[in-house]
Structure 1
């Protein structure tokens, strides 16, 4: 079974490598990291700590990994290639495992590259302003940001599997993370249990802590597991 998953993942990696939308998303995310951190670092009222500047950019970068997650599944429904995929690999669990592993590889590389680019851009920008760079924040915050970016994109994988389309999955996932979560946060403290808010504790501390980074991670994983479980059940039972 492990060998089958490996072959499926290799096939899906090759498919994603050939998709212009995936390459554009990866390059766009890295480019956005450069532009956003550069703008934050050049601001006279911005932070002068590279890690702090990069962490401020993470909410914008999550759109990139969410898009990767949606594209990893949704594009095959757009052009009907899912039928060919299922004829070549009849075991649907293997197909989903391959797509998920391929997404994880692309998303991890994208997150690491974007955050590294952001750190480098911030350091260069602060140096050009002759701003003394203070000691960086805890490096585990950058690791937490990378983990968050990868995990939040898994919601895109699950919702694309459920909706069998790119646009609806993108709209639902991005709306939940970028619109609904901030709006509810201003209304009710229960918004902290939404995936974006809970997962955000992996890289940004809560001024009024109720959840810790560990419990925030568990809440985010809970969203991923429940949504992913529904996606797996739907994918295995219905027609392609």
Structure 2
């Protein structure tokens, strides 16, 4: 079973590499990191520390990993490729598991590359302004930001698996994260339990918050597990 799932995952990794939209999402996320961190660091009114600059860019980079997660599943329904996938891998538990692992591999590389290049861009932009840059070792909140980006994109994957459509999944996930969440955060403290707000604590912990980084991670994972469980259950029952 493990070997079978490993082969399916390898096939999904190769499949994603062959999708122009996936490559565009990856390169777009990295390009956005460069543009946003460069602009923030070049602004005299901005912060003067590379890590702080990169963390300010994370909310905007969520769109990139969400798109990656949605495309990892949704494109198969758009072109009917899911029928071929199920003929090659008839196990309806192995297919979502392989797609999830393949997505996580791509999302991790994308998040690390975007944040790493963003840090470098911020350093260069700050140096151009003659701002002294201090290196204090590995910034663990940047690691937390990478985890957040990968998991928030995984939420998009679960919505795509549940809705079986690229556009619908993108609209639902991006609206939840970029529209509903900021609006509710302005009117109710319960917005802290939304997936992106809980995940924010992985890289921007707030001592005054009810949730800690660990419990915020659990809340975000809870969203993924609940929606993902529904998606897998529906996938096992309905036609492709």
TM-score bracket for this pair, using the shorter chain length: over 0.9
Return the alpha-carbon distance in structure 1 between the equivalents of residues 203 and 13 of structure 2: 28
In structure 2, stretches of 5+ residues that fail to align are none
> What TM-score results when the alignment is normalised by the length of structure 1?
0.98
Q: Does 1:9 align with 2:9?
A: yes
- Per the TM alignment, residue 73 of structure 1 is displaced from its structure 2 partner at its CA by 0.3
Match of 1:191 in 2: 191
In structure 1, stretches of 5+ residues that fail to align are none
> What TM-score results when the alignment is normalised by the length of structure 2?
0.98
- Per the TM alignment, residue 69 of structure 1 is displaced from its structure 2 partner at its CA by 0.5
- Per the TM alignment, residue 190 of structure 1 is displaced from its structure 2 partner at its CA by 0.2
Match of 2:39 in 1: 39
Match of 1:75 in 2: 75
User: Alignment partner of 1:92: what SS?
Assistant: coil
Return the alpha-carbon distance in structure 2 between the equivalents of residues 54 and 209 of structure 1: 22
Return the alpha-carbon distance in structure 2 between the equivalents of residues 35 and 159 of structure 1: 29
The equivalences for 1:156-235 within 5 A come to 156-206=156-206, 208-235=208-235
**Count of matched residue pairs:** 240
Alpha-carbon deviations, 1:65-86, whole Å to 9, x = none?
1111000000000000101111
Return the alpha-carbon distance in structure 2 between the equivalents of residues 57 and 186 of structure 1: 20
User: Alignment partner of 1:199: what SS?
Assistant: helix
User: Alignment partner of 2:132: what SS?
Assistant: coil
**RMSD value, Cα:** 1.1
Match of 2:103 in 1: 103
- Per the TM alignment, residue 133 of structure 1 is displaced from its structure 2 partner at its CA by 2.0
Alpha-carbon deviations, 1:17-59, whole Å to 9, x = none?
0000000110000000000000000010111110000000000
Task: Mark the CA change 1:185 to 1:60 in structure 2 (over 3 Å): closer, same or farther.
Answer: same
